[in-house]
Amino acid sequence: MKEEMLARLVAQAEGAGLPGRGDMVMIRALIEEASELGAGRALARLGLEDRRAEADMRELRELLRAWRDAKKAARGAAIGWAVRIVMALMLLGMAVKMGLIGLVKG
């Protein structure tokens, strides 16, 4: 159906005369129909032309958002633990340097 409409518009544009004198409405209609046809073909190639495509894309976006949130949380936790370990090692080093380890041993 879209192909037929595009073919009719092309035939009308060819019958209108020189491209420089073409009707802007005709050119816009040609562009719109060609764009819709191309978008439909692209969606069909991706397997997104059915009714479930919108729900599938929404679900994929949610999964991607959850993955990004999980990565961010894991990165934050790893950095937090690294900072805690470094601080504990610094505290231990200061205790050794001040001779406080001897007090603990008795």
The DSSP annotation for 50-81 comes to STTHHHHHHHHHHHHHHHHHHHHHHHHHHHHH
Reported as a single tens digit per residue, the pLDDT across 56-76 is 999 999 999 999 999 999 999
Residue 5 near residue 11 (C-beta atoms within 8 A): no
pLDDT, tens only, 20-46: 555 777 777 888 888 999 998 999 998
**What is the distance between the alpha carbons of residues 7 and 33, in angstroms, rounded to a whole number?**
10
pTM, two decimal places: 0.51
* pLDDT: which is higher, 19 or 68: 68
Mean residue pLDDT across the chain:
85
DSSP letter at 19 equals G
Q: Say what the pLDDT of residue 38 is.
A: 92
